[in-house]
């Protein structure tokens, strides 16, 4: 990693710490609500989200291992945390994706087109895994348990599946068009190569890992709801996790702030829960995730400084 890249990484760490401090200060009332959690409740919530972050890092590693780069789980966990924090400062997840692309290029020597293909493919696999679970679980509740599900659930599940299929079809069609500029065709070809390098067995394996995130998130949400005295059925906790993940497809605000909370609110509207307590759960949940990501970013700074980068291939598929 060059000297300039190291300086940029140090500046990024400082900016994240300052941003984290300002974010916590602006949300100091919410931060005070975390005093309601006991040590054991803190442990379960943190373990739930760490499990989610670990699975996401594993998915990113597995897709990269197919291309010959060998990132460790630890460094990918830190890179994901840096990028997620950057997502809090930009709309449309621009900070998240640009952060991942910068780290992939500086650390592993990956060209921008392959980096975009790697991260875009992982994101589609995460979304499709959650949508498939939401579809099958929703159909089981509807047909087997005769349970009415809110419209927001079906809108996000079916909408996500349509978007994933449409994006993949668009990629494969455009990659074959001769009228496109050569540079753009090379970009599309590299992104297509990332997708086609993944076997069906690996796709289902990655989808399963994305689905394993759901009960871990439900665990953390369930603990927080119990702290605030909200008795939410396990079924709805699982649906909350699915809807929260799928809301990323409409990430119009920094880190999807407000959008995620709005769809969760709509999902739980039928339960007629106390609005003040429900709002407290959502605010504390968001703040705890942010603090965990900031701590991982700070703790992993030296790891990214010391570990040598892995060399990758050229910008040709």
| pTM score of the predicted model | 0.89
pLDDT higher than 80, residue 314: no
222 CA to centre of own chain: 20
pLDDT of amino acid 36: 86
- Assign 316 a pLDDT band (cuts: 50, 70, 90): very low
Q: pLDDT of 109-145, one tens digit each?
A: 888 888 989 999 999 999 999 999 999 999 999 999 8
pLDDT value of residue 311? 47
Cα distance between the two ends of the chain: 24
Torsion of CA 65, 120, 101, 46, to 10 degrees: -80
CA distance 123 to 74: 19
Which of the four pLDDT bands, split at 50, 70 and 90, describes residue 2? low
Contact 217, 266 (CB under 8 A): no
Taking a C-beta distance cutoff of 8 angstroms, is the pair 77, 296 a contact? yes
Q: How confident is the model at residue 68 (pLDDT cuts 50, 70, 90)?
A: confident
């Amino acid at each position: 990693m060059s000297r300039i890249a190291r300086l940029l990484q140090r500046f990024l760490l400082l900016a994240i710490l300052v941003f984290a401090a300002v974010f916590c200060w602006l949300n100091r009332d919410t931060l005070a609500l975390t005093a309601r959690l006991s040590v054991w409740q803190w442990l379960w919530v943190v373990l739930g989200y760490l499990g989610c972050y670990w699975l996401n890092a594993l998915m990113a590693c597995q897709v990269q291992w197919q291309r010959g780069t060998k990132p460790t789980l630890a460094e990918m966990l830190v890179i994901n945390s840096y990028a997620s924090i950057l997502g809090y400062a930009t709309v449309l997840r621009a900070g998240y994706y640009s952060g991942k692309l910068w780290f992939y290029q500086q650390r592993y020597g990956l060209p921008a087109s392959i980096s975009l293909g790697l991260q875009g493919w992982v994101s589609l696999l995460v979304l499709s895994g959650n949508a498939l679970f939401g579809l099958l679980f929703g159909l089981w509740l509807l047909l087997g348990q005769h349970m009415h599900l809110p419209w927001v659930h079906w809108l996000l599940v079916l909408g996500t599946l349509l978007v994933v299929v449409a994006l993949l079809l668009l990629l494969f069609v455009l990659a074959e068009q001769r009228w496109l500029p050569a540079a753009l065709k090379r970009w599309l070809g590299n992104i297509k190569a990332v997708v086609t390098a993944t076997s069906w067995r690996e796709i289902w394996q990655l989808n399963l890992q994305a689905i394993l995130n759901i009960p871990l998130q439900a665990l953390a949400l369930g603990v927080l709801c119990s702290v605030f005295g909200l008795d939410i059925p396990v079924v709805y906790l699982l649906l909350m996790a699915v809807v929260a993940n799928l809301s990323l497809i409409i990430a119009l605000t920094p880190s999807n702030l407000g959008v995620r909370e709005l769809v969760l609110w709509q999902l739980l509207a039928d339960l007629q829960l106390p609005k003040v307590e429900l709002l407290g759960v959502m605010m504390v949940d968001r703040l705890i995730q942010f603090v965990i990501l900031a701590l991982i970013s700070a703790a992993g700074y030296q790891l990214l400084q010391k570990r040598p980068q892995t060399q990758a291939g050229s910008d040709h598929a």
